[in-house]
Amino acid sequence: MRRNVILDLEFCSINKRGSKGLKYMNNEVIQFGAVMLDDKMQVVGEFMCYVKPEYTTITKSITNLTGITTENLEDAPCFAKALNQFLSWIEDDIENTYIYSWSDSDEKQIRDEAREKCIIDFRLDAVLSHWHNFQREFGVKIGYSGQPISLSNALSCVDFLFEGKQHSAIDDARNTAKLFALCEDREKFEKKTKAIRSCFIEDERSKVTIGDLLGRELEMFICC
């Protein structure tokens, strides 16, 4: 049975990467959040884990953005242990598990941090081989090929409200999972997106672009 895992990461930047002897990563993960859906799009599990960074500290701006504080991470596992917990969570049927994240930044972060920290795990290889950029797939489904759409604006496109706190990994994952489940229901998705798709799908006869149809201001708005 196919399982779909909607994953979101929160991370913080590393100042002066080169001075710390780092080659591959510019950020460190500080929180995992994931929701598992079965083949009927029912939630069958959730995973959340804070991660203690090794090369950086939580700044005030990160706390303001994510709500994550230094105190949250005091007893948190390091990245290697947190990643192992996540992989163990999906390990039962990893070959039939597909990972979806909003943009490709989360996949890149996992790859870079695992490489930097010399983590070798066949389960991670399986996960990375089944990774999908759901942000891009959603754009394709509504006929939009411009700048990346933010999650909150994608939810607005289907008349969904964001539930919880934005930039909380588990809340972002829950909201992305809700959008993913809608996309898997063709009838409901087409009904919800009829108006927006009618604006975004190019007219093959005239080759009209989104900017021509809606104006550059609106195109910029949906991407913010």
Q: What is the pTM of this model?
A: 0.88
For residue 222, what pLDDT is reported? 53
For residue 16, what pLDDT is reported? 80
For residue 192, what pLDDT is reported? 92
Mean pLDDT of the chain: 89
Residue-level length of the chain: 224
Q: Cα dist. 124→39, 62, 156 in Å?
A: 22, 27, 33
Low-confidence stretches of the chain (pLDDT beneath 70): 201-224
The C-alpha angle with vertex 63 and arms to 62 and 67, in degrees rounded to 5, equals 120
The C-alpha angle with vertex 224 and arms to 141 and 103, in degrees rounded to 5, equals 50
For residue 141, what pLDDT is reported? 93
Q: Which residues of 73-102 are buried (b: 16+ CB within 10 A; e: fewer)?
A: beebeebbebbbebbebbeeebeebebbbb
For residue 1, what pLDDT is reported? 81
* CATH entry, 3-223, from 3.40.50.300, 3.40.50.2000, 3.30.70.100, 3.30.420.10: 3.30.420.10
* DSSP one-letter string for 112-162: HHHHHTT---HHHHHHHHTEEEHHHHHHHHHT--SSPPPHHHHHHHTT---
SS3 content of the chain, % helix, strand, coil (to 5): 50, 15, 35
For residue 202, what pLDDT is reported? 52
- Phi and psi, residue 171, nearest 5°: -70, -40
For residue 205, what pLDDT is reported? 38
